Amino acid sequence: MTSAVDQPANPAPIRVLRLIARLNVGGPARHVAVLMAGLERARFSQLLVAGRVQGDEDDMGPQLRAQGLDFLELPELGRSLHPWRDLKGLCKLLGVMARFRPQVVETHTSKAGFLGRLACWLYRPYARLRGWPVPRAIHTFHGHTFHGYFSPAASALFLTLERLLARLATWRVVVISQRQYEEICLHYRVGRPGQYRVLPLGIDLEPFSDPAPGRAALRAELGLGQGDFLIGAVGRVAPVKNYGLLLEAAAELGRQRPDLAAGARWALIGGGPPGEVAALKEQARELGLEGRVLFLGSRPDPQVFMAGLDALMLTSVNEGTPMVILEAGACGAPVVATAVGGVPDLLGPVDEQPPGGFSRHGRGLSAPSGAAAALAAALAWLMEHPPEAQALGRSLRDYVRASHGQARLLAEVAALYQEAAR
């Protein structure tokens, strides 16, 4: 059978080559899946190229293929850095471009963004010489690697490379929140303001339209009673998610308010390297939380586990727009989160700063990054004020439904592609 990359290009639809380092379970891969499935095939001919998922990560690839979303696997595009392998991947990408002849090259995640935009920059003169469409490159920042991921020296190197790529090889830079634009463009000085487009994430809201069945199912599965207050953290186990802080906040709640902590249960929903998961379990044991923190691993049913939570807690040191806040909001769950990246944009302006070091926004509560005591105080406030907590959840739900639907995202992305292909 002839692969998608070898088929002759259809002159009618706009040809979009989309690159991502790996299809591990997480926001970038899920965002890419939304675009691949949702954009009209009559208007856009899309080719997805993805690197190989690492052995300790959950792989979305089989799930996408089961949904009829095929992709070309390019192992050299994966997350790990290796000069010879990366050069080989660059050459392969040039071959893919010569066969597919894209009008738009869209990249997601740092490694794919680097190789994809470099390949596009090298390919453009050749395409012009051959009379083929000369593609424009669009890079989407879901988060960034300028802090929280690597050593200071490595972070500085990646920032320098991003500045060069933005100047030489990028037509548009897409960010997913206004706060992210201010951070990446204005603070880190990547690219020019005129290059940027703020396109907030969009999710399929239908699975969350009636949370009651999912809530009942999860709580029955976990054996929770009416008096149990379930706090969940959702996402892959990785240093940037800072799940150790979640455990510290749980222990701090026990010190601040043992009466409330007695009814609290904690769930960590997400897979990751076995060594890191084992370290978190050991930390929970040392903090006296054994049996109160449930490690549920990766699950494919957010309509169940999000609906079952009484509150979502996010402890990351760096985020773009956390999709987990959108999904929790779609279920009407209140959120306590570190005020990083695009989180304050989701939660809205600060309305009040109660005692305890946390902030009350119009759509949730936030605390400074790393502040276990403030996170615990925010959670205690939620547990002590059920009507106000429910109001925060409703406000977030209304905001998500109004601003983060899938149809809005697809319309904005389609318009951007049409502009790029002119």
What is the rounded CA–CA span in Å between residue 346 and residue 179? 10
- Mean pLDDT computed over 328-349: 95
54: DSSP letter: P
- Mean pLDDT computed over 275-296: 96
Domains and their CATH numbers in the chain = 4-202+405-420 (3.40.50.2000), 206-403 (3.40.50.2000)
Letter string b/e over residues 18-51, b meaning 16 or more CB atoms within 10 A of that residue's CB: bbbbbbbbbbbbbbbbbbbebbeeeebbbbbbbb
pLDDT greater than 50 at residue 99: yes
Q: What is the pLDDT of residues 262-276, one digit of tens each?
A: 999 999 999 889 999
pLDDT score for 1: 42
pLDDT score for 11: 52
What is the rounded CA–CA span in Å between residue 284 and residue 374? 19
CA-to-CA separations, 121 to 60, 126, 172, 306, 410, in angstroms, rounded: 30, 10, 14, 42, 26
For residue 110, which amino acid is it? S
Instruction: Tell me which of 1-15, 210-224, 320-334 is least confident.
Output: 1-15
pLDDT score for 96: 97
First to last CA, the chain: 33
pLDDT greater than 80 at residue 87: yes
Residue in this structure with the two tokens 């892959």, named with its chain if needed? 236
Which residues are within 8 A (CB) of 287 and not within 5 positions of it... i.e. 6 or more apart? 247, 248, 250, 251
Q: What is the pLDDT of residues 370-379, one digit of tens each?
A: 999 999 999 9
Nearest residue to 27 via CA among 177, 173, 191, 213: 177
Q: What is the pTM of this model?
A: 0.85
pLDDT greater than 60 at residue 315: yes
pLDDT greater than 90 at residue 342: no
Q: Beta strands 44-50 and 72-73: pairing type?
A: parallel
pLDDT greater than 90 at residue 5: no
What is the rounded CA–CA span in Å between residue 283 and residue 9? 55
Contact of 415 with 355, CB cutoff 8 Å: no
pLDDT greater than 90 at residue 229: yes
pLDDT score for 149: 58
pLDDT score for 284: 97
- Mean pLDDT computed over 306-329: 94
Instruction: Tell me which of 69-78, 113-122, 331-340, 395-404 is least confident.
Output: 69-78
